[in-house]
Amino acid sequence: GLFAGYIEQEATITNVAVGGTIRIGAISNWLSKYDLNLCENGNIAGITLANEVGLASVGGFGLNVFNSHSLNVLADLGLKGAIASFELTADAIRELKSEIPVVTIVYGRLPLMITEKCVGRELGSCEACESGTLKLTDRRGVEFPVLKRYKHRSVIFNSIPTYMADKRSELISSSIISE
């Protein structure tokens, strides 16, 4: 699988730059202090950082891998694998050609938005954000889970989880999963 051989320690380099600027030296120094062996990257700059400190690197959803060309460019930059774009069909994922493995998300809540402002703080309290119980509710009463990320950044997730278990035969015929 995509994470074979990389079991214990993982870092994530987000798809949003800290304060609008990435300080490669500072982040590289920070990463090198930990006994990490895998880094999930949400942006291209993260691949450079991971390479600089000798971490194996896989592409996260933020890279939006949509075709074989982008996948091969990312492989040339040093990625060991990637998550396919959420928007691809099973047939389109099957058509991705590269020497690195590609995975897709078949179950879970997909991120809709990353906010620079803390949603919990804007709603009056950081406690719900810290505990993982914060939800935004739209005008129709639909709830969207919110999780805290770096400092007071928030990730807003889809109200309905992606669920592809009912598409098992399509996933098998597209070679995305095996029997």
pLDDT digits (tens, 9 = 90+) for 157-174: 899 888 877 888 887 777
Could you give the CA distance from residue 61 to residue 178 in angstroms, rounded to a whole number? 22
Could you give the CA distance from residue 62 to residue 77 in angstroms, rounded to a whole number? 16
Helices marked H in 33-108 — which ranges?
44-52, 68-76, 90-94
pLDDT, position 16? 46
- The total number of residues shown for the chain amounts to 179
Question: Which token pair is 47?
Answer: 């691949």
pLDDT, position 143? 93
What pLDDT band is residue 2 in, cutting at 50, 70 and 90? very low
Question: What phi and psi, each to the nearest 5 degrees, are found at residue 170?
Answer: -65, -40
**pTM reported for the whole predicted model:** 0.70
Q: Does residue 49 carry a pLDDT above 90?
A: no
107: closest CA among 42, 13, 171, 14?
A: 171
Residues 6+ apart with CB under 8 A from 78: 47, 50, 51, 57
Per-residue pLDDT reduced to its tens digit, 87-145: 888 888 888 888 888 888 888 888 888 888 888 888 777 777 777 778 889 999 999 99
pLDDT, position 118? 82
* Strand boundaries in the chain, DSSP class E: 10-13, 38-41, 56-59, 79-83, 102-103, 107-108, 111-115, 135-137, 143-148, 154-157, 162-163
